[in-house]
């Protein structure tokens, strides 16, 4: 078992003929992901990845022909919102948007449309999802993971890589790793992913990687305290960041004292979460919790 993606995932790559889309599609295919189609307007009828994957002009046609249920988006920011709309219109169940820089106004409109659709969006500005050992959707390097029972959900792509690799180095595997994206407005929040982990029999523990800015971690802490039965280990990036200054991600800005690292850490601890002081501490906390449980 895993969450969101598995051996039944049938993937479309939107922007498959571009440099980024082509490179990462090859990486995903090599890992074992079932890529059934690519989409690039104007290039329908071509075949890519050594003739293994057909290209279509539209997502709807690709879905109708291939039976795809998942899409990953590698298109420039100015086209990314339209790419998301197209996937929603085609009733794609899971949409993963790697693109960063989509305007907040467009993302606000997209989140409203998602509420009345059959689609779930991960991202934008997401590294994607990986469920070792055979399925990944996005750009998370396959070499830093191994199969296991620890679920990982993160706002930071770089910290995702660092933590997952630290787990592997300690002999700890992951069930699924989900990067929800670091923008101010994203399609899925911590709570959405945590609820999936709660229902996943393969996941016995969760690592949640947050950062300063917004209140998503505080909302997640409330959910953990009242709805999650599995142990959670947390880490909040940006503890040394100066106030009222954006650090890295579009969502990582503290305004009027809201979204500070101190507030997030306090909320998580109140919910019973073990909070690491630095990423390399996480494997040890996992081993300690396993010894207790």
Give me the sheet containing 174-179, strands edge to edge. 135-138, 128-131, 174-179, 147-154, 205-211, 232-237, 274-275
Q: Which of 24, 26, 249, 293 is catalytic?
A: 249
Catalytic (active site) residue 249:
yes
Do 91 and 113 meet the contact criterion of CB atoms below 8 Å apart? no
Q: Which helix (H) or strand (E) holds 153?
A: strand 147-154
Residue 45 CB neighbours (<10 A): 8
Query: What spatial distance separates the first Cα and last Cα of the chain, rounded to whole Å?
Result: 21
Question: What three-state secondary structure class fits 22?
Answer: helix
The C-alpha angle 229, 3, 125, rounded to 5 degrees, equals: 110
Alpha helices in the chain (DSSP H): 19-31, 59-66, 77-89, 104-115, 157-169, 190-198, 216-227, 261-270, 282-292
The C-alpha angle 75, 163, 210, rounded to 5 degrees, equals: 70
Tell me the two tokens of residue 225. 């305290």
* Residue 109 neighbours by CB under 8 Å, 6+ apart: 81
* Residue 6 neighbours by CB under 8 Å, 6+ apart: 131, 135
Residues taking part in catalysis: 249
């Amino acid at each position: 078992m895993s969450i969101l993606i598995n051996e039944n995932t049938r993937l479309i790559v939107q922007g498959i003929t571009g440099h980024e889309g082509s490179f990462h599609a090859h990486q995903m295919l090599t890992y074992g992901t079932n890529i059934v189609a690519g989409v690039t307007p104007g290039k329908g009828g071509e075949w890519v990845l050594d003739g293994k994957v057909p290209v279509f002009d539209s997502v709807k046609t690709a879905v109708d022909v291939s039976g795809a249920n998942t899409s990953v988006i590698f298109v420039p920011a100015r086209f990314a919102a339209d790419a998301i709309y197209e996937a929603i219109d085609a009733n794609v169940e899971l949409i993963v948007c790697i693109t960063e820089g989509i305007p907040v106004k467009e993302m606000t409109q997209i989140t409203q449309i998602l509420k009345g659709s059959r689609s779930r969006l991960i991202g934008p500005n997401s590294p994607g999802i990986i469920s070792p050992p055979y399925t990944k959707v996005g750009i998370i390097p396959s070499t830093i993971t191994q199969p296991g029972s620890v679920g990982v959900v993160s706002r930071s792509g770089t910290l995702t890589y660092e933590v997952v690799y630290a787990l592997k180095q300690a002999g700890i595997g992951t069930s699924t790793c989900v990067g929800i994206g670091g923008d101010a407005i994203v399609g899925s929040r911590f709570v959405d992913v945590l609820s999936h982990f709660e229902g996943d029999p393969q996941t016995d523990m969760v690592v949640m990687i947050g950062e300063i800015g917004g209140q998503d971690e505080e909302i997640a802490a409330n959910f953990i305290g009242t709805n999650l039965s599995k142990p959670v280990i947390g880490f909040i990036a940006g503890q040394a960041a100066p106030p009222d200054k954006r650090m890295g991600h579009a969502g990582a800005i503290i305004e009027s004292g809201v979204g500070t690292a101190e507030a997030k850490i306090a909320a998580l601890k109140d919910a019973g979460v073990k909070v690491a002081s630095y990423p390399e501490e996480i494997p040890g906390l996992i081993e300690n919790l396993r010894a207790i449980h």
